[in-house]
Structure 1
């Protein structure tokens, strides 16, 4: 018995020393930091689901409000929270080569479909894939795919109108509607298939998409903790983050479609066709293309994305890009759509002004069917979407991993970053809600983004699609989706609050997620 107690005490001591061995990192450098708990670091409120993630982020951001940066611990890993926009600019652009990668949980040797996608790739392979994909997300390519998005939006509005006029409930949770819309868009634009989730809400594509995106389940939470703390152990145990059946479904669908098209010479202006062009080395930038008219929130491609690529890609490499297109675009775009609906319902004066712009646009087009250029010319629509992304950014934070040792000099201080040890956290939510940069930040005010005011926004305080060469490559597609659906929704319906609409919104206590605790309920009332 004594031996057992002694061994247990020794084991506990060893685990304690191992779990706290990095906790002097910031103290040694004189950097203020949030005090960690053994093993759990500063994540305990998230892990125990005591608070919504945005409240946790707010605590982290405000604890050292007079500092340009401060320290946190992601379990044992030292993380530097950057508050200063100029330092964010420096690390994501000027010194990008020192902070090139995201923190990667799933590498391609663990799960090829997930590990080979653009978000997970690192180093030169990421650079080559970014440059390969970049021409697929220009304004001209969005223009080619716009008909697919427009068709889904028109059909969605028509089905809703028929259902409501036939007596079906017009009071519903908007995220459910938005998920069907994004599902149909991605199925069409990235997989080349038509699923029509409004007529067939039990289709396999939507069912498996929801299954893959269920990051709030207890099992998924345990897997995430395992990959954060011991990725090698998770790999050796053969535990995959995403459901294998779901990944196999998407992988087989993509590769089968690519092979069929190559064999039969089928051409369809969608993402698979662009991937096939990339495989042949035919996907290149149009240097004369104008891209500034695609919306204020649109991110511009850097020199990395415009460089020449000689690497040959395999089928699975390219299929993985369609898969991340699905992962990144399914839930986040549906979430943004839900917040747009919420703000329009809560601000009927703003909704009315946007409706008037839509009516004016309709008067200038034939058959009430808008084209890509006409959509991009709608200034107030862009203001509404830009302000939604400020108040409710799809990603409340983003990260970068230190890939080369680096000394950051600021305010007569030096912060020493160590390769593969430190990562930085960019608190997008808090930058967008900081009254120093956006006065009265809780107010929904599209006028922040009108022609007179938008140029006053300080650089690197508005980051809805991230910062630097590693920003979100799909910003144009996401904005196109959201703008198109609300053009046709508001043309046919007014969006109104109901007794189920939660004002103000409150969020569930979930790690790294923004899930309204009661959903976003609205009423769609047909226009006479």
Structure 2
């Protein structure tokens, strides 16, 4: 390849990007970028076409959570502030009282979320609970609420315990006084992938194949500017995405792989009663619905899901685990390593319920209070979801509270949002927010937390319906990991953590390297 080939390729790419930019400028209405200022709302600086938040992701020296925190802080004493993401004008709600009113008490006026994936562009992702709207969302949410009841989560407990035990056993060959170094994200990702394959899809073998398929799930891989640009164009103008070689969000081959798993599972006459995966629970509910002995709950919520809909929701749980559970596991481990007093107190609590040669009672695991505090503080300091939003589904007016305010009329389709990261790091609600302090959530202190300032599981009717299952996984994991081992910082451990730029979630900039060694008190 000579210099002329390189230059011609560069100019072709430049021309392509310029063409896309001109197309967007000519076809996109610029009014949304001045939407809130036209309503008399204090507005953060707006950059037309791509919006201030997306520009910040691409070019800012700050990570996205910090950028959104800047928007939050720029509101000053106002209860809300306007800004934009791509073509969407967003009203960020800062006041906890107003958050409670819009997202809980008046939630019937704000029932839907923003749509990122258009149905005619990607049928799988557009059918997840996150993207469904109106009555369709209510119907599907009701079905999955039945699958995730406390009793059904409890039935999954032995499966989760065995999977975690198998994973942790690989570390138990550490010799006394030996320190085993490990990359937390790399090791934990394998655990989450295998666990998800088992508890969501009912897979009990060929985990390597599942991990390979998962690594190729989407047609956007990496954190490059090109990846981000192609993703934005796919969302903004799906017809243009062919220029980037993208015909859908989800890789077709992987989509078919998951469909095959679900189809084969539904065709089984005898379900695996001992595994109790989400796939098994759906299968069992569908079988019970067809029998003559229907209970009241099943009569009221018909299990009317096709294979594509089941795959969509299982994939949603899968990616929630990778984007939610995985970083939470990583950050808890990191905080325990650099706060040995917290780790020791946690081990002391867990040692009290250990049963030799057997798993503890489900209620004993779920009732570990100090572990609850550690998890809660980690999810405050490092929330896996930085923002949550709702669309106005009925005309609504935010009435005045302060003399300088005017009534703000919201139209159908207006987007309101809450920055979980900014709330969780507001020193007004959490003094010394960058300090890891589980005692904030002790029985004597938890009541001091102002309502609607701590929202790790979301808020209102659209909050996370897998909270019980997620907590069980987190608790079983650390119960087993810390039974014989302790996690410690090593020379390569970066303290403090810096957040990754160019991504929309709370993610470490560098790999987190830690050490494992045998507990000294055993």
TM normalised by structure 1 equals 0.86
Q: Which residue of 2 aligns with 1:302?
A: none
User: Does residue 241 of the first structure (1) align with residue 233 of the second (2)?
Assistant: no
Partner of 1:99: 110
Contact persistence 1:49–1:511 (CA under 8 A): no
> Compared with structure 1, are the counterparts of its residues 307 and 20 closer, same or farther at alpha carbon in structure 2 (3 Å cutoff)?
farther
Moved >6 Å (runs of 4+): 11-14, 166-169, 235-238, 283-287
Taking the aligned partners of 1:227 and 1:281, their CA distance within structure 2 comes to 41
2:138 is paired with a residue whose SS is helix
| 1:102-251 equivalent positions in 2, closer than 5 A | 102-162=113-173, 164-165=174-175, 170-195=180-205, 203-212=208-217, 214=221, 216-231=223-238, 234=241, 239-251=247-259
CA contact (8 A) 2:192 2:326 kept: yes
Deviation, 1:212, is 3.0
Question: CA 1:372–1:132 in structure 2 vs 1: closer, same or farther (change >3 Å)?
Answer: same
Alpha-carbon deviation of 1:107? 3.7
Pairwise CA distance, 1:371: 2.9
User: Superposed, which structure 2 residues align to 1:306-385 within 5 Å?
Assistant: 308-310=300-302, 312-362=304-354, 365-367=355-357, 369-385=359-375
1: CA distance between counterparts of 2:458 and 2:77?
24
CA distance in 1, matches of 2:298, 2:421: 29
Contact 2:365/2:476 (8 A) holds in 1: yes
Between stretches 62-71 and 513-522, larger displacement belongs to: 513-522
Q: Give the C-alpha shift of residue 244 in structure 1.
A: 2.3
Task: Give, in whole Å, the separation in 2 of the partners of 1:56 and 1:77.
Answer: 17
1:51 to 1:357, Cα distance in 2 relative to 1, 3 A: same
Whether the aligned pair in 2 keeps the contact of 1:393 and 1:464 (CA below 8 Å) is yes
Q: Deviations over 1:183-209 (max 9, x none)?
A: 121111111112486xxxxx1212232
How many residues get paired?
492
Q: How does 1:220-299 map to 2 (within 5 A)?
A: 220-231=227-238, 234=241, 239-259=247-267, 261=268, 263-267=269-273, 268-280=275-287, 282=289
1:140-165 superposed Cα distances (whole Å, 9 cap, x missing partner): 11110011110111111111113x34
Cα shift at 1:172: 1.4
Contact 2:262 2:310 in 1 (8 A): no
* SS at 1:23 equivalent: helix
Rounded to whole Å, the distance in 2 between the matches of 1:285 and 1:36 is: 56
Secondary structure of 2:249's aligned partner = coil
Tell me: CA distance 1:495–1:397, structure 2 relative to 1, closer, same or farther (3 Å).
Answer: same
Which of 395, 409, 416 in structure 2 is aligned with 1:405? Answer: 395
Shift of 1:47: 2.4
Match of 2:12 in 1: none
| Distance in 1 of aligned mates of 2:340 and 2:302 | 53
- The separation in 2 between residues aligned to 1:37 and 1:354, in whole angstroms, is 48
Q: Does 1:461 align with 2:440?
A: no
Given that 1:195 and 1:205 are in contact with CA atoms closer than 8 Å, whether structure 2 keeps it comes out as no
- The range that moved more, 333-342 or 392-401, is 392-401
**Which consecutive unaligned segments of at least 5 residues does structure 1 have?**
1-7, 198-202, 288-304
- What is the rounded CA distance, in whole Å, between the counterparts of 2:281 and 2:50 in structure 1? 44
Contact kept, 8 Å, 1:186 with 1:330, in 2: the verdict is no
Counterparts of 2:323 and 2:295, CA distance in 1? 31
Give the secondary structure class of the aligned counterpart of 2:426.
coil
**What is the deviation of 1:506?**
0.3
Q: What CA deviation, in whole Å up to 9, does each residue of 1:420-472 have, x standing for no partner?
A: 2x212210011111111111111111111111111221111110010000001
Report deviation, 1:20.
2.2
Q: 1 CA distance for matches of 2:294 and 2:429?
A: 35
CA contact (8 A) 2:118 2:126 kept: yes
**Contact 1:132–1:278 at 8 Å: present in 2 too?**
no
Note if contact 1:178-1:335 (Cα within 8 Å) is conserved in structure 2: no
Cα gap change, 1:286/1:309 in structure 2, threshold over 3 Å: closer, same or farther? closer
C-alpha distance in 1 between matches for 2:494 and 2:271: 51
State the shift of 1:285 in Å: 13
Give 1:390's aligned residue.
380
1:39, 1:76 within 8 Å by CA — same for their partners in 2?
yes
Bigger drift between 501-510 and 229-238 goes to 229-238
Once the 2 structures are TM-superposed, how far is the Cα of residue 218 of structure 1 from its aligned partner? 4.5
**Equivalent residue of 2:113, what SS?**
coil
Deviates more, 1:446-455 or 1:111-120: 111-120
SS in structure 1 of the partner of residue 32 of structure 2: coil
2:118–2:235 contact (8 Å) kept in structure 1: no
The 1:487–1:143 alpha-carbon spacing in structure 2 relative to 1, beyond 3 Å, is same
Between the aligned partners of 2:299 and 2:113, the Cα distance in structure 1 is 21
Q: Is the 8 A contact 1:184 1:195 kept in 2?
A: no
Compared CA separation, residues 507 and 124, structure 1 to 2 (3 A): same
Aligned-pair Cα RMSD in Å: 3.0
Distance (Å, rounded) in 2 between the aligned partners of 1:13 and 1:312: 42
Measured after TM superposition, the shift of residue 307 of structure 1 is 11
Equivalent residues in 2 for 1:440-519, closer than 5 Å: 440-519=432-511
Q: Secondary structure at the match of 2:129?
A: coil
